[in-house]
A and B are shown apart, each in its own frame.
Chain A
Amino acid sequence: MRSSAMRDMMAITARPEVISLAGGLPDTSSFPAEAFSAETDEIARESLAEALQYGPTEGIAAIREQIVKVMAAEGMAVDATDVTVTTGGQQAIDLVTKTLIDPGDILICDAPTYPGAIPTFCSYEADVRQIECDADGMRMDVLEATLDSLAAKGQKPKFIYSIPTFQNPGGVTLSLERRRQLVRLASERKILILEDNPYGLLRYEGESLPTLYSLDGGNFVLYLGTFSKILSAGLRIGWLVSPRPIQEKLVLGKGASDLCTSTLTQMFAAQYFARNHWHDYVEDLIGIYRSRRNAMIGAMSEYFPHGATWNKPEGGLFIWATLPDVLNSEDLLAKAIGKGVAFVPGTAAYVDGRGASSMRLNFSGVKEDLIIEGIRRIGAVAGEQLRLYETMTSTDEMRLPPQQDIEAASDDFGDGQAR
């Protein structure tokens, strides 16, 4: 979010009475307390001194071995020594940007992109170029044209940052064909890709697709994983898999920044994953999130105004909705906060002010009844604003109250659910 006044406004979403569809919070209430106790008891009994001590910068061996297993579950074969443990995925984005970007260097990412990555890219003064996404993810024709035009000027991006699966914020998934194209482009033009995959295991329907890392074999793709969405965001454990020369630099950078990720939380996660119960927990989460996603989509169909469009993601945590373009989602947020509900305005996902009529809605962190109530309130304020606008301009473009039928949308983003 560019405006500091806007950032201040988001402070209110932390108030308990606000239904926040703004965060990217996983549901942590379903984590079994007995499993937590069992792990911490065992650490207390058997390895407390080590748990309370500093650890290696690249991460303790036990967790790196478990990371290899988690990646294998998504079809990737890696060596534990290639894994660098980070303090959450966010540190991984920071370290890669710090390592690869000098001020003014070009960096390519999705449009829209993960709002939390933008401040990181900007703080290292990257020249961020965003490539438009449609229902199949980043458009490879646009990417190729961008790379061509850069090459014509003797320029090349330092890396391409993308969340190919259940993208944040768009919820879209890069198609298999485009995955192959992207990996081919990277290899032909010798450009690194940072594949951010926090949600890959959270698929609610449809067939899994191979990761960019598995298609590329780790030559040009740096892989970013995290336990935040499959175990706990509070543990702050993410990881990077990267070619050795880059890894050496990343580890140096990490050492300079925090010496090591918490040994205690690494040991906790390592033990927990070693027991192999995690698949069951992820299955539980999938059931919870699928139901919440459905509740949100159902509520949007009922309460969002005519002309609004959104996608139905097959996994992940987010739905991206676009309202009629006379509405500005930052203004709408102010009004929505007054009604006790918050979302992320679309502008937060762009570096150039685009996304003004769009919003990111999170469905993982709030229970169904609150999701429905939150969406109802957003729909109500959007409807009020549209009616007011209509009164002032007396156009019949916006027909209100909304019709009940679901129309096929011409919107090119998402799978075109619309009212």
Chain B
Amino acid sequence: MKVALLQGGRSLERGVSLRSGARVSEALLSLGHEVESLDLGPDLVSVLEQMQPDVAFIALHGIEGEDGTVQALLELLGIPHTGPRVAACQRSMDKSLSKYILREHGLPTPDWVTYSEAAIRDFGAASSFQKAVATVGLPLVAKPASQGSSLGVKVVTRVEDIPDALITALSYDSRALLETWVSGRELAVSVLGDRALPVVEAIPTDNNAYDFEARYEIGGASFECPAALEDAQTEEVSRVALAAYVALGCSGFARVDLILGEDGPMILEINAIPGLTETSLLPQAAEAGGISFEEMVEQILDLAC
């Protein structure tokens, strides 16, 4: 097949995307496909029209690549693409919207409130911080509504630290969430097709319970796959993750991040186009499930629509 591999882009996750793209490109070539790698730029549409690929493999992360922008263009041009379609992209990219949808489907996710920059700047939203704390409790996690990595995430233990944490979160998006901090085991369930892959657990290497960075730093956390869970736990976590995947309308593949606390699993977010790098969790999970990277790429390609 003639594959247009979309990678790079303008999001803050450009670096990850380039690494995902490089690895996917290698796999596609070894599978015998014809590959042309494209970065996002002013000539994207004309290049795609000229190239007329059979399919577009989207290895983009973050804004524009994962939020439906590129997907909408491809769908307009009639080019089948990997991963979710436009609406699912928008639903999963926006953490606040995702959580509303999860709640509507009766799926567990921590309590939260959402603040837009405009509400704070123009409507005196800061006067409601006490109320927000009453809703979500302390400690809480402040995070941008639409970022895929640890960027902009801060844990807040005192109400007076909310402004500082919101300034950080709002540097990465025009909206931010204050979400209940849930302690427990950090799990990621990758979904491929209609199947939940073996669960990955991120185990922080130091004892700082609030260190989000640890998850993303080499050496900051170790990853165990499959996670050492009881069968019933694995089953429940996988069920919840698959249900979230379906609720948001994802397709092809995705990664669902959860916390397994005392009250069972809580869904934190759904990554519609998770990382595909050497150290990313989806490929690790696939491998643990007996699926090589090449096989996974081929499956993702087969599921393109």
Interface residues of A (CB under 8 A from B): 3-12, 15, 17, 326-328, 331-332, 334-335, 337, 385, 387-389, 391-394
User: A391: which of B13, B126, B164 is its contact (CB, 8 Å)?
Assistant: B126
Measured CB to CB, the closest approach of chain B to A322, in angstroms, equals 17
Contact A331 B15, beta carbon cutoff 8 Å: no
Residue of A nearest to B39 (CB): A15
Contact B121 A387, beta carbon cutoff 8 Å: yes
Q: Which B residues are in CB contact (< 8 Å) with A6?
A: 151
- 16 A-B pairs (CB sep. < 8 Å): A3-B216, A5-B151, A8-B12, A8-B13, A8-B149, A9-B14, A12-B10, A15-B10, A15-B14, A326-B164, A328-B167, A332-B171, A385-B167, A385-B171, A388-B166, A393-B126
How would residues 157 to 187 of chain B score, 1 for a CB under 8 Å from any chain A CB and 0 otherwise? Answer: 0000011101110111000000000000000
Q: Which A residues are in CB contact (< 8 Å) with B114?
A: none
User: B150: which of A5, A387, A389 is its contact (CB, 8 Å)?
Assistant: A5
Q: Which B residues are in CB contact (< 8 Å) with A332?
A: 171
Contact B163 A393, beta carbon cutoff 8 Å: yes
Measured CB to CB, the closest approach of chain B to A103, in angstroms, equals 16
Q: Does B107 contact A (CB under 8 A)?
A: no
Measured CB to CB, the closest approach of chain A to B252, in angstroms, equals 23
Q: Which B residues are in CB contact (< 8 Å) with A327?
A: 167
Q: Does B218 contact A (CB under 8 A)?
A: yes
CB within 8 Å for A4 and B171 given contacts A9-B12, A15-B10: no
Contact A334 B16, beta carbon cutoff 8 Å: no
Measured CB to CB, the closest approach of chain A to B213, in angstroms, equals 6
Query: What 4 pairs across the A-B complex have the smallest Cβ distances?
Result: A8-B15, A11-B15, A331-B171, A392-B163
Measured CB to CB, the closest approach of chain B to A395, in angstroms, equals 10
Measured CB to CB, the closest approach of chain B to A179, in angstroms, equals 39
Q: Which A residues are in CB contact (< 8 Å) with B150?
A: 3, 5
Contact B120 A331, beta carbon cutoff 8 Å: no
User: A9: which of B15, B167, B168 is its contact (CB, 8 Å)?
Assistant: B15
CB within 8 Å for A392 and B218 given contacts A7-B15, A15-B10: no
Measured CB to CB, the closest approach of chain B to A396, in angstroms, equals 15
Q: Which A residues are in CB contact (< 8 Å) with B163?
A: 389, 392-393
On chain B, the number of residues with a Cβ less than 8 Å from chain A's Cβ atoms is 30
Measured CB to CB, the closest approach of chain B to A139, in angstroms, equals 30
B1-34 interface (Cβ within 8 A of A): 10-16, 18
Q: Which A residues are in CB contact (< 8 Å) with B10?
A: 12, 15, 17
Measured CB to CB, the closest approach of chain B to A36, in angstroms, equals 30
Of the candidates A5, A10, A334, A391, the one having the most CB atoms from chain B within 10 angstroms of its own CB is: A5
Q: Is the interface of A mostly helix, strand, loop or mixed?
A: helix
Q: How far is the CA of A160 from the CA of B149 in the complex (A)?
A: 37
Contact A392 B120, beta carbon cutoff 8 Å: yes
Q: How far is the CA of A9 from the CA of B150 in the complex (A)?
A: 12
Residue of B nearest to A12 (CB): B14
CB within 8 Å for A388 and B117 given contacts A9-B12, A11-B15, A334-B172: yes
Instruction: Count contacts between A and B, CB distance < 8 Å.
Output: 82
Residue of A nearest to B40 (CB): A15
Measured CB to CB, the closest approach of chain A to B206, in angstroms, equals 14
CB within 8 Å for A337 and B12 given contacts A5-B216, A391-B126: yes
Q: Does B217 contact A (CB under 8 A)?
A: yes
Given pairs A12-B15, A394-B126, 11 additional interface contacts (CB within 8 A)? A7-B15, A8-B16, A9-B15, A12-B12, A331-B167, A334-B171, A337-B12, A388-B121, A388-B166, A391-B126, A392-B167
Residue of B nearest to A5 (CB): B149
Measured CB to CB, the closest approach of chain B to A363, in angstroms, equals 24
Q: Does B152 contact A (CB under 8 A)?
A: yes
Measured CB to CB, the closest approach of chain A to B174, in angstroms, equals 10
Q: How far is the CA of A392 from the CA of B14 in the complex (A)?
A: 32
Measured CB to CB, the closest approach of chain B to A359, in angstroms, equals 14
Q: Which B residues are in CB contact (< 8 Å) with A335?
A: 171-172
Contact B18 A11, beta carbon cutoff 8 Å: yes
Q: Which B residues are in CB contact (< 8 Å) with A17?
A: 10
Contact B218 A4, beta carbon cutoff 8 Å: yes
Q: Which B residues are in CB contact (< 8 Å) with A15?
A: 10, 14
Contact A392 B172, beta carbon cutoff 8 Å: no
Measured CB to CB, the closest approach of chain B to A385, in angstroms, equals 6
Of the candidates B14, B164, B172, B218, the one having the most CB atoms from chain A within 10 angstroms of its own CB is: B14
Q: Which B residues are in CB contact (< 8 Å) with A7?
A: 15
CB within 8 Å for A392 and B171 given contacts A9-B12, A15-B10: no
Q: Which A residues are in CB contact (< 8 Å) with B13?
A: 8
Contact A3 B217, beta carbon cutoff 8 Å: yes
CB within 8 Å for A392 and B166 given contacts A3-B213, A5-B151, A334-B151: yes
B212-267 interface (Cβ within 8 A of A): 213, 216-218
Q: How far is the CA of A326 from the CA of B172 in the complex (A)?
A: 16
Q: How far is the CA of A327 from the CA of B162 in the complex (A)?
A: 14
Contact B218 A11, beta carbon cutoff 8 Å: no
Q: How far is the CA of A334 from the CA of B150 in the complex (A)?
A: 13
Contact B168 A328, beta carbon cutoff 8 Å: yes
User: B126: which of A3, A4, A392 is its contact (CB, 8 Å)?
Assistant: A392
Contact A331 B121, beta carbon cutoff 8 Å: no
Q: How far is the CA of A5 from the CA of B126 in the complex (A)?
A: 29
Residue of A nearest to B153 (CB): A5
B134-163 interface (Cβ within 8 A of A): 149-152, 162-163
Q: Which A residues are in CB contact (< 8 Å) with B121?
A: 387-388, 391
Measured CB to CB, the closest approach of chain B to A3, in angstroms, equals 6
Q: How far is the CA of A391 from the CA of B217 in the complex (A)?
A: 34
